[in-house]
Structure 1
Amino acid sequence: MSRRVTVATAVLGLLCALTGRVAAQSENRDLIEGLEFQLLYVALPLSLFVLMILVYATVKFHDNDDPQPTAEDPALEITWTAATAIILLFVGIAGYSVLVSPYVSPSQATDVAGGEQGAVESIDDLPETDDEELVVRAYQWGWEVTYPEHNVTTEDEIVIPADEDVTIWLTSDDVVHSLFVSDLGVKQDAFPQEYTRLRTNVYETGQYDADCTEFCGAGHSRMDADVIVVEPDAYESWLEDNEGSQATAPDG
């Protein structure tokens, strides 16, 4: 196999890897990856186009002993200016459509309730949503998860139903923490004396790793948790069986 064919094969394999898409496990990750691929589909052809022009110019003019300045071409300048504006407009609209999604951009409890800043001081004051709701309280160095409507509490285990909208109210007892679930595309800071809404919808059952990604002291490296996603029926049964108690997560 010639060197040229080997290089071409490697480039083709790289392009396939970049454009190949794996099914996302949650609405959050689906939105983020969708935006990434939209931008990739724009950036990749442009990068190849610029590279081809660079190679062409290098080969054609490498031995030019009498280079001349580029002649003025208003039509060409207008064309590339307009093309650049269209590309930037596309990127702006694509990015904005994802960033305004409640699955990507968090909101404060006061924003959801429409009240004044500082009005939400406890779990009882949290605004109602149409989602399944739970409260995750971060502390040095662990996570306490409370299901207010069912009086169920877990430690370092976040149990949620699959294929349902879930609102997680995040808060902190001491310093700023950050809940990060890589496989689900979920990441949100938890602030002291504030409740921040994190919204998700997970498609696949199973167990996912969660970590704190905001340095919070000597025990930061061991501040992790398990996100357990189960079928809705199993979730309801687990809540009923553990109502009023300190619960352990069901088998995924």
Structure 2
Amino acid sequence: MTATRIRRAVGISVGLALTTLFVAPAAAQPSINSELISDLNTSLLYAAVPITVLVELILIYTVYRFKDSGEAKPTQENRRLEITWTVATAIILLFVGLASTQVLASSYIAGTTADSPSAEGGNVEGLSKNVSGAYAPTEDNAIQIEAVAYKYAWTFNYIDSQGDVSSTNTLVIPEDRPVYLHLVSNDWLHSFHAPDLGLKQDAFPGQYNTMKTKVTEPGTYQLYCAEYCGVGHSQMTGTIEVKSQSEYQSWLDEQRSGGAGNTTGNASNGTATNNQTATNNQTAAANESTNASARLA
């Protein structure tokens, strides 16, 4: 393979990588977050495939071409070739950097920015804790929900509900509206994770983390705690129900008019169930340890 052919192959690979900037993935995603992540992964994949193919072809050619050589020969200097692959590498790295920066700079991926910070959590009206880290929305039609994590459940307080509306382990949000989730923990580290929606953010005690999303497809999505938090960690699950705007408003009205008490009751029952489960798990672990000690004795 001559130097000219290698330069041409490198040029074709770089060209294919650059065209991915203008290629939109066909698969629809249910949220802005997952769409941004999927687009970035697809673009990087399109860039990586031609580079991988080129490297493998050069490797195969080299093995075949020099398989019968009995003595290694010194490499001859080729300034044009060196300049070509240096420039090609720089262009590829620039493409990866620009594509990644466009996604990571988005408020849907990076979380809250300094556009509208509140020095204290209490400055965002309706939050239950006066700690730092919460950011107010920048959009007029955005809604705010406080997500409080504890062993081993989630409580969601709907700040803009014009009343005391909360739910446990079921987050209800409207479609096609920005949603700001103010995450905080009552005890230790937890993590809010909804993989189908591209959402993942830690919940710390004594600090709010504000996560932004907008879901475009109604439906029910799975919610997990993605940070090990104790014996009941595997049962710290929930759901995210995405409703149309009219259904979401009807749900809020129902909670205010009498369902709120039921929701609170469900929260208490959920907490009691989780606590009982944790107690049972701890008892089982203690019994197992005792049995193991007896067997060793």
TM range (shorter): 0.7 to 0.9
Letter in 2 for 1:66: E
Query: Which position in structure 2 is the counterpart of 1:120?
Result: 121
Question: What aligned pairs does 1:34-73 form with structure 2 within 5 A after superposition?
Answer: 34-73=39-78
* 2:166 corresponds to which of 153, 156, 178: 153
**How much has 1:107 moved relative to structure 2?**
2.8
Letter in 2 for 1:145: F
Distance 2:143 2:189 in 1: 25
Query: Which position in structure 2 is the counterpart of 1:84?
Result: 89
Distance 2:200 2:135 in 1: 22
Distance 2:54 2:243 in 1: 47
- Max radius of gyration: which structure? 2
Q: Deviations over 1:55-87 (max 9, x none)?
A: 111111111123312210111111111111111
Hey, which of these two has a bigger chunk of helix by percent?
2
Q: Unaligned 5+ residue runs, structure 1?
A: 1-18
Query: Which position in structure 1 is the counterpart of 2:103?
Result: 98
Query: Which position in structure 2 is the counterpart of 1:14?
Result: none
**Kindly tell me: are residues 160 and 247 of structure 1, through their superposed partners in 2, closer, same or farther at Cα, counting changes over 3 Å?**
farther
Number of residue pairs matched by the alignment: 226
Task: Show structure 1 runs of 4+ deviating over 6 A.
Answer: none
Q: Which has the higher contact order (CA 8 A, sep 6+)?
A: 1
Question: What aligned pairs does 1:232-251 form with structure 2 within 5 A after superposition?
Answer: 232-243=245-256, 245-246=260-261
**How much has 1:106 moved relative to structure 2?**
1.8
Distance 1:246 1:65 in 2: 85
- Bigger drift between 236-245 and 48-57 goes to 236-245
The alignment partner of 2:177 has SS state of: coil
Query: Which position in structure 1 is the counterpart of 2:152?
Result: 141
> How large is the RMSD of aligned CA atoms in angstroms?
2.0
- Please say if residues 185 and 203 of structure 2, whose CA atoms lie closer than 8 Å, have aligned partners that are also in contact: yes
**How much has 1:22 moved relative to structure 2?**
3.0
**Kindly tell me: are residues 94 and 247 of structure 1, through their superposed partners in 2, closer, same or farther at Cα, counting changes over 3 Å?**
farther
TM-score by length of 2: 0.71
TM-score by length of 1: 0.84
* 1:107 corresponds to which of 102, 108, 112: 112
User: Quick one: percent identity of the two aligned structures?
Assistant: 38
Question: What aligned pairs does 1:165-204 form with structure 2 within 5 A after superposition?
Answer: 165-204=178-217
Q: Deviations over 1:95-151 (max 9, x none)?
A: 11111111111238xx454344xx224717765423111111001110001112222
* 1:221 corresponds to which of 228, 234, 241: 234
Distance 1:114 1:209 in 2: 30
The alignment partner of 2:256 has SS state of: coil
- Please say if residues 160 and 227 of structure 1, whose CA atoms lie closer than 8 Å, have aligned partners that are also in contact: yes
**Kindly tell me: are residues 230 and 164 of structure 1, through their superposed partners in 2, closer, same or farther at Cα, counting changes over 3 Å?**
same
**Kindly tell me: are residues 115 and 200 of structure 1, through their superposed partners in 2, closer, same or farther at Cα, counting changes over 3 Å?**
closer
Distance 1:225 1:138 in 2: 12
Q: Deviations over 1:32-75 (max 9, x none)?
A: 01111111111100000010111111111111123312210111
Q: Deviations over 1:142-197 (max 9, x none)?
A: 00011122221101000011111111111111101100001111100011121111
Hey, which of these two has a bigger chunk of strand by percent?
1
Query: Which position in structure 1 is the counterpart of 2:220?
Result: 207
